[in-house]
Amino acid sequence: MGFEYAPAPESRSIVDIKPSYGLFVNGEFVDGHGKSFKTISPATEEVLAEVAEADESDVDAAVKAARRAYEKVWGPMPGRERAKYLYRIARIIQERSRELAVLESLDNGKPIKESRDVDVPTVAAHFFYYAGWADKLEYAGRGADPRPLGVAGQVIPWNFPLLMLAWKIAPALACGNTVVLKPAETTPLTALLFAEICQQADLPPGVVNIVTGAGATGQALVGHAGVDKVAFTGSTEVGKAIARAVAGTDKKVTLELGGKAANVVFDDAPLDQAVEGIVNGIFFNQGHVCCAGSRLLVQESVADELLAKLKRRMSTLRVGDPLDKNTDIGAINSAEQLAKIRDLSEIGESEGAGRWSPACDLPTTGFWFPPTLFTGVSQAHRIAREEIFGPVLSVLTFRTPSEAVEKANNTPYGLSAGVWTEKGSRILSMANQLRAGVVWANTFNKFDPTSPFGGFKESGYGREGGRHGLEAYLK
């Protein structure tokens, strides 16, 4: 039985979007020297604001501001004092959480219930968590008096704009580094609101600098000689280019790249619960998730039953206005990403996989893609190998646990995996055999600041989160 939902839009009046934004350098908003660019709402294609582009000279000014702040203020400051700033930032994030959530949904296209209930609370949690470490770094496992690295150049993607910012900035600052961060071109607005929060927290000028722009700005940042540490989250392709660019320098690097996670369902799994985990694994955030469970591996004996349940559940997903509190699946972040999802889905069909989506009305403006699954997928299909980064699930089957392991690990990536079974011993055995940085058992896409996150193989190197996340920012 279906239900009709009355619209329940979150008001956008809480955010005050300025017509144009400068760069945040040395504690102030300044004009950029590059060509400014527009950021739009992917749900409506409405222009939200004009944003400055940082060229090489702007990046240079930001790195120099970060260096001064590192040497004169932030580096020498006792950890207990740095902690106070981080706690203050965390509390302001909580106080302004509705504003941050609405702005994130507007600029990114993700549903408000996700930005409100997952992204922003996790962002605050990261700042609280690393604030707690700032005066306890001698217990981080890096010696009695671990030192910061200096200036961190950080480049982040568009799928979790604020959360990726928090993953990068909170541990860097806790350890005594200063940062220059480049948000993604399509989602700069919440990083700029975060810059205002730094001002509100009286963070000393130059400790956090935000340079907006496109790939060239990111390239200028990671290539800058004054950057001691490069932290990048994004595609494997750009990650490789960055690794090449910093090879031979003494910069420290962490790379968090793509994924093609297997979500493995055994015949003894609680199937209704598994269906919720599969849906959360691939349709959360429109599937724009590096650790998305984009390959469902289901044991053959329960495949038909599970697929019937999954299709029924997918038919209840509501696609539409990101600001509506009932929405499950929002807009695809950009026309470019939509084209990529469409291309790979068409390739899936032409290679012989069976495509299915529930009936759903998509809005006529903006960028949309229905929740989609492919059955009859073989390991050779491109939709089983390549990261689609959209709401598209590839379903494969297996007969034995060793076949499941073999298929799950048959990927150049290794970021995450899921296991669904009622046997604890099987969970442990699978977790030991799966080559993935995170293995979830009877759940999926759970994030916690105390837990390290990162990849194997082409999913990158280094860990973010937890005590391990400090290592990336300490000598």
Residues marked as catalytic: 256, 290
Report residue 241 CA to chain centroid gap: 20
CA distance linking residue 250 with residue 385, whole number of Å? 34
Number of neighbours of residue 200 by Cβ within 10 angstroms: 13
Can you tell me which of 158, 194, 367, 374 binds ligand TAP, judged by CB under 6 A?
158
68 pairs with which residues across the strands?
A: none
Q: How far is the CB of 111 from ligand TAP (least distance, A)?
A: 18
> Does residue 155 belong to the site contacting ligand TAP (CB under 6 A)?
yes
CA distance linking residue 427 with residue 414, whole number of Å? 17
Using the minimum distance from each CB to ligand TAP, give the nearer residue, 274 or 292: 292
Can you tell me which of 389, 420, 444, 473 binds ligand TAP, judged by CB under 6 A?
389
Range 336-355, binding ligand TAP (CB under 6 A): none
Asked if residues 155 and 222 have their Cβ atoms less than 8 Å apart, the reply is yes
Using the minimum distance from each CB to ligand TAP, give the nearer residue, 284 or 398: 284
Strand ranges across the sheet with 460-461: 28-30, 23-25, 208-210, 178-182, 151-155, 229-233, 252-256, 460-461
Asked if residues 48 and 77 have their Cβ atoms less than 8 Å apart, the reply is no
Range 311-340, binding ligand TAP (CB under 6 A): none
Can you tell me which of 238, 271, 275, 302 binds ligand TAP, judged by CB under 6 A?
238
Range 213-232, binding ligand TAP (CB under 6 A): 214-215, 218-219, 222
CA distances from 301 to 164, 268, 309, 388 (A): 40, 10, 14, 28
Can you tell me which of 118, 290, 296, 430 binds ligand TAP, judged by CB under 6 A?
290
Taking CB atoms within 8 Å and a gap of at least 24, the contacts of 235-241 are 235/157, 236/412, 236/413, 236/458, 236/459, 236/460, 239/460
DSSP state of 153: E
> Does residue 293 belong to the site contacting ligand TAP (CB under 6 A)?
no
> Does residue 259 belong to the site contacting ligand TAP (CB under 6 A)?
yes
Q: Where are the alpha helices (DSSP H) in 70-205?
A: 79-95, 97-108, 112-114, 120-133, 161-174, 189-200
Can you tell me which of 228, 324, 387, 471 binds ligand TAP, judged by CB under 6 A?
387
Range 400-419, binding ligand TAP (CB under 6 A): 415
Can you tell me which of 109, 258, 293, 330 binds ligand TAP, judged by CB under 6 A?
258
Pairing of strands 460-461, 151-155: unpaired
DSSP state of 146: -
> Does residue 34 belong to the site contacting ligand TAP (CB under 6 A)?
no
Concatenated DSSP letters of 237-260: HHHHHHHHHHTTS--EEEEE----
Per-residue mark of binding to ligand TAP, 104-143 (x: CB under 6 A): ----------------------------------------
Take residue 296 and report the two structure tokens written for it.
Answer: 């469902």
Half-sphere CA count of 375, side-chain side, radius 13 A: 12
Stretch of residues binding ligand TAP (CB under 6 A), selected from 52-60, 70-78, 136-144, 235-243: 235-243
> Does residue 235 belong to the site contacting ligand TAP (CB under 6 A)?
yes
Can you tell me which of 64, 67, 82, 182 binds ligand TAP, judged by CB under 6 A?
182
Q: How far is the CB of 426 from ligand TAP (least distance, A)?
A: 27
Can you tell me which of 185, 228, 458, 471 binds ligand TAP, judged by CB under 6 A?
185
Using the minimum distance from each CB to ligand TAP, give the nearer residue, 159 or 299: 159
Using the minimum distance from each CB to ligand TAP, give the nearer residue, 176 or 258: 258
Question: Which residues contact ligand TAP (rule: CB under 6 A)?
Answer: 155-159, 182, 184-185, 214-215, 218-219, 222, 233-235, 238, 241-242, 256-259, 290, 387, 389, 415, 460
